[in-house]
Amino acid sequence: MAELLVIEGLTKRFRGLVANNDVSFALAAGELRCIIGPNGAGKTTFISMISGHVVPTSGRILFKSRDITKLPVHLRARIGIGRKFQTPTVFDNLSVYENIELAVLATPTPSRGRHARIMRTLDLVRLAEQSDRMVGALAHGQRQWLEIGILLAGEAQLLLLDEPTAGMTAEETHSTGELLRRLVRELELSAIIIEHDINFIRDLKAPVTVLHLGRVLVEGSFADIERNEQVRSVYLGNA
Ligand SMILES: Nc1ncnc2c1ncn2[C@@H]1O[C@H](COP(=O)(O)OP(=O)(O)OP(=O)(O)O)[C@@H](O)[C@H]1O
Ligand SMILES: [Mg+2]
């Protein structure tokens, strides 16, 4: 698989604090990757540098072989980098359909193709039956899936998801895992998922990168990570 994203020696200092320290990382096209680590390890800072919300102190970010280290947020979104925050950024007083429509309108999709694209997106995130509902009336899980749909409608190829299952029921969490695996399989999307829910991570069956004190502590399969003594002592032992 070709590398979609390559990170070289990324460092972020906030005054005296080193939030990311010489992080190198690669993600293939069509790859799902989990990022775990203790609170304050630098996980959110890491994906904020990929989305452009935080400017690195040093290091490089390459997306499809292009150096995007200094590219502003909206231009990164346009080339396929979609960021989901913990609190969904959806319009409560519009319908599910209209929320997706707004995202499609921001793409070059010709007007005759828009409706089909909206419906296809709603199908992908299993919200077609909720199409006419006001977003304010959706369940917590459905709102999160809508936001993933908005990223898809905006033609994201790389999804950056910060704790997507926070606050979800066990059933919603399970459905979210299925949704992400399906998207990667059917659309060949790539995703970086920050999570604390160990059962969810295990079920994703994706490679895991462990961050600790701003550095990559170890990378590997979940089974490898779970057995790793260092990971157990800094994170899993008290998870
Ligand atoms: N804008 C900022 N200004 C100053 N310090 C910051 C800023 N953003 C993050 N930090 C600090 O950088 C470190 C890494 O924070 P970050 O939010 O990336 O961690 P995290 O791994 O996402 O943690 P959590 O699991 O709690 O979400 C922390 O010590 C945090 O306080
Ligand atoms: Mg965080």
Rounded Cα distance between 222 and 227, Å, is 9
User: How many other β-carbons are positioned within 10 Å of the β-carbon of residue 109?
Assistant: 16
Query: What pLDDT was estimated at residue 1?
Result: 59
DSSP 202: H
CA of 45, closest atom in ligand 1: 18
Rounded Cα distance between 73 and 20, Å, is 19
Single pTM value for the model:
0.94
- For residue 239, pLDDT beyond 90: no
Query: What pLDDT was estimated at residue 85?
Result: 78
Query: What pLDDT was estimated at residue 84?
Result: 86
User: pLDDT by residue (tens digit) across 41-69?
Assistant: 999 999 999 999 999 999 999 999 999 99
Which residue's structure tokens are 């409560």? 92
Give residue ranges with CB within 6 A of ligand 1: 14, 17, 19, 37, 39-45
32: pLDDT confidence band, cut at 50, 70 and 90? very high
Residue 190: exposure state from Cβ atoms within 10 A (0-12, 13-18, ≥19): buried
* Contact indicator for 69, 10 with CB cutoff of 8 Å: no
- For residue 20, pLDDT beyond 90: yes
The residues with which 82 forms a beta bridge, in sequence order, are: 159
Rounded Cα distance between 89 and 139, Å, is 15
CA of 88 to the centre of ligand 1 (A): 20
Shortest-distance ligand to the CA of residue 45: 1
CA of 19 to the centre of ligand 2 (A): 11
Rg over CA atoms, the chain: 18
User: For residue 59, which phi and psi values (nearest 5 degrees)?
Assistant: 105, 175
| CATH number for the domain running over 1-80+161-239 | 3.40.50.300
Per-domain boundaries in the chain: 1-80+161-239, 89-156
CA of 184 to the centre of ligand 1 (A): 28
238: pLDDT confidence band, cut at 50, 70 and 90? low
Going by CA atoms, what residue is nearest to atom 29 of ligand 1? 40
- For residue 14, pLDDT beyond 70: yes
User: For residue 85, which phi and psi values (nearest 5 degrees)?
Assistant: -90, 170
User: pLDDT by residue (tens digit) across 115-134?
Assistant: 999 999 999 999 999 999 99
CA of 20, closest atom in ligand 1: 14
User: pLDDT by residue (tens digit) across 170-225?
Assistant: 999 999 999 999 999 999 999 999 999 999 999 999 999 999 999 999 999 999 99
Strand 58-63 versus strand 66-67 pairing type: antiparallel
CA of 160 to the centre of ligand 2 (A): 12
Testing ligand 1's pocket by substitution, the residue of 10, 12, 15, 17 carrying the most ligand atoms inside 8 A of its CB is 17
User: pLDDT by residue (tens digit) across 76-96?
Assistant: 999 999 998 767 679 999 999
CA of 48, closest atom in ligand 1: 18
235: pLDDT confidence band, cut at 50, 70 and 90? confident
Shortest-distance ligand to the CA of residue 13: 1
